Amino acid sequence: MDAEQFCKNGQKMVEYISTYLEQIRDRQVVHNVTPGYMRSLLPNEAPKDPEDFAEVFKDIDKVIMPGVTHWHSPRFHGYFAAGNSYPSILGDMLSDAIGCIGFSWATSPACTELEVITTDWLGKMLALPEEFLHRSPGRGGGVIQSTASETVLLCLLAARTKMVEKYEKVYTNLDEMEVMAKLVGYTSDQSNSSVGRSGLLGAVRMRKLETDEKFSLRGETLREAIAEDKAKGLIPFFLCATLGTTGTCAFDNLEELGPICKEEDMWLHIDAAYAGSAFVCPEFRHFMKGVEYADTFSINPHKWMLVNFDLSVMWIKDRSLLVDAFNVDPIYLRHENAGKGAPDYRHWQIPLGRRFRSLKLWFMLRSYGVTGVQAYIRKHVSLAKQFEKMVLNDSRFEVIADVVMGLVCFRLKGNNNKTERLLEEILQDGRIYLIPAIVHEIYTLRLAICAERTNSDDIAFSFSVIKSCADRVMKRFPPSEDIRNAVNGQIDNIA
Ligand SMILES: Cc1ncc(COP(=O)(O)O)c(C=O)c1O
C-alpha cells in the first residue's frame, strides 16, 4: 500500500468507523456465532500474493462483524464501561504511525514528557494529593500502565521487595525466600479477581477479608486479621483497597484502613479502576476520603473516561520504591540524560517496551476539556439513577446496593434461581446484554451504563426488555412462593 492508497483507504476506514459508531444502536448487541465460526470463512494459510485492500475491506462485514460483541452499543450493559471516543481513536492512529518504543526518555523524549504532563493533569483533575504528582517537590509521579491488574501486581512486587529488605535486617538468620514465605497481603472479598491473582503470581499469601452489609472493607476487620496473622508469625505487608468494586461498585473505608496500614508499615494500594474517573466531579470525591494514606493509586481511563483500551494510570508517592526495586541497567539501555529531570519509564513497569499511549489521553482531554469529562460522568450517573427508579417502581424487583455511579445491581425478589432464570431469558432475548454477580451469596444482575451515546430512551428500552423477560419468568414460579416470602417478611437468598 503506497501513500496515495493509504490516504484513500484511510478515509474509507474512518468513514466506516464513524458509521459503525453512529449506527451501532441498530446492531444486535451480542454476536450470534459459535466457537470456531471463522474457520470456514477464512483460508487455512496466509495469502501467497498481495491482495487488494478492497478485498480485505469487504471481509470486515463478512468475517469480523458477525463475531463482534458491540461494547459501545447503548444496549450493552455488561462489565463496566469501556472507553471510546473519536479523539482517542485519532491518538492511537498517530501513536501507531510514530511507532516509537518509549522505554527511556532518550528513545523518544515526547513520549515520556507528554506522559509526565498528562498524568499530572489527570492527577489534578481528580484532586489527588500533591505528593502523587511529578510537579510536586517530592518523589511522586504518574505512569501509564496497560491495565489495573498489571498495576496491582507491580505494586505488590514492590511492596514485597520493600518488606523483604526490611525484615532481612530484623531476622538476620532468615534469607530472602524465608522472609517471603512469611508475607501476607489483604484485600476484600469484593475486590477484582486480579488482586487474588497478583498474590498467586507474586507467590505470597493474599487473604480476602469479609466486607460489611454495604460490601465495604472496614478497619476493624483488617485489624483483627493482622493480629491473627502476626500471632502466627506472619508479616502483613500489603493491602489492596478498592474504590468501586467490580460486583456492586462498593467503596472500602480508607479513613479506617489507611491509619492501620501506616501503623503496620504496610503498602496501601487503591484500585479505583472504574469509579476513580468519577472523582473528576467534586461531588463524588467524598468516596476517596483517606486517599492521602495510599502509597499507590490507580484508575482506568480506558474504562470510564473516554479513552480506548489500553490506558490505565497509576500514581506513586515515592517512585524510588519502584525504580530501585527492579533496577537492571544494561549498557544498551543507558543514555547520557538518565536521571536528569525526566523518568525512564521502563523502571516503572513490568515490560520493557511501551507505546506512546499518552497521545490518546491528551487528544481526549483537549477535545472534551474537564467540563466535557464531568458532563459525561454525570450523564451516566443520572441514567443509572433513572434505571434504579424504574426498577424500584416495579414491586417484583429490588436493588441490592447503593446506586452511586453508573451501575445498578438489581434482582427479582425471592430465591436466587428466579434471577438466574431472568438472566437466561434476557440473554436468549438478545436485545440487551448484562452480566450477573454473586455478592454475600446474593445472585444479582448488574446493569452498567457503558456507551457514551446511551440516552434516556435507551434506558427505558432496556428496562422494557427486562420487564418482558421478568413476565415470562414469573409465569414459571408459583405465586404461592412469593406470598410465603412476603408473609415471612424475608428474602430467601439461598440458591
Ligand atoms: C475494580 C476493578 N479493578 C480491576 C479491574 C481489572 O481491570 P483491567 O482490565 O484494567 O486489569 C476491574 C475490571 O473490571 C475492576 O472492576
Residues with CB under 6 A from ligand 1: 79-80, 147-149, 192, 194, 242, 244-246, 271, 273-274, 300, 312
Residue among 144, 188, 303 to mutate when testing ligand 1 (max atoms within 8 A of CB): 303
Portion of the chain with pLDDT greater than 70, in percent? 95
Instruction: Give the three cell numbers for residue 163.
Output: 518488606
The CA 277 to ligand 1 mean position distance, Å, reads 13
Residue among 216, 243, 271 to mutate when testing ligand 1 (max atoms within 8 A of CB): 271
Residue among 145, 211, 274, 305 to mutate when testing ligand 1 (max atoms within 8 A of CB): 274
Per-residue pLDDT of 83-105, as tens digits, reads: 999 999 999 999 999 999 999 99
Instruction: Give the three cell numbers for residue 318.
Output: 515515592
Distance CA 425, CA 465 (A): 10
Nearest protein Cα to ligand 1, atom 14: 246
CB atoms within 10 A of CB 19: 10
Instruction: Give the three cell numbers for residue 246.
Output: 467490580
pLDDT less than 70: residues of the chain:
329-334, 478-495
Task: Give the model's pLDDT for residue 169.
Answer: 77
The CA 176 to ligand 1 mean position distance, Å, reads 31
Task: Give the model's pLDDT for residue 2.
Answer: 94
Residue carrying C-alpha cell 444502536: 25
Nearest protein Cα to ligand 1, atom 9: 147
Determine the atom of ligand 1 nearest the C-alpha atom of 246: 16
Contacts of 70 (CB under 8 A, 6+ apart): 24, 27, 28, 29, 30, 76
Task: Give the model's pLDDT for residue 48.
Answer: 96
Task: Give the model's pLDDT for residue 491.
Answer: 39
Cα angle, residue 31 at apex, residues 29 and 33 outer, rounded to 5°: 165
- Domains of the chain, each with CATH number or no CATH: 3-83 (1.20.1340.10), 100-356 (3.40.640.10), 377-488 (3.90.1150.10)
Strands 296-299 and 312-316: antiparallel
Task: Give the model's pLDDT for residue 492.
Answer: 39
Instruction: Give the three cell numbers for residue 373.
Output: 469529562
Nearest protein Cα to ligand 1, atom 15: 246
Three-state SS for the chain is CCHHHHHHHHHHHHHHHHHHHHCHHHCCCCCCCCCCCCCCCCCCCCCCCCCCHHHHHHHHHHHHHHHCCCCCCCCECCCCCCCCCHHHHHHHHHHHHHCCCCCCHHHCHHHHHHHHHHHHHHHHHCCCCHHHCCCCCCECEEEEECCHHHHHHHHHHHHHHHHHHHHHHHCCCCCHHHHHCCEEEEEECCCCHHHHHHHHHCCCEEEEECCCCCCCCCHHHHHHHHHHHHHCCCEEEEEEEEECCCCCCCECCHHHHHHHHHHHCCEEEEECCCHHHHHHCHHHHHHHCCHHHCCEEEECHHHHCCCCCCCEEEEECECHHHHCCCCCCCHHHCCCCCCCCCCCHHHHCCCCCCCCCHHHHHHHHHHHHHHHHHHHHHHHHHHHHHHHHHHHCCCCEEECCCCCCCEEEEEECCCHHHHHHHHHHHHHHCCCECEEEEECCEEEEEEECCCCCCCHHHHHHHHHHHHHHHHHHHHHCCHHHHHHHHHHCCCCCCC
CB atoms within 10 A of CB 467: 14
Determine the atom of ligand 1 nearest the C-alpha atom of 312: 10
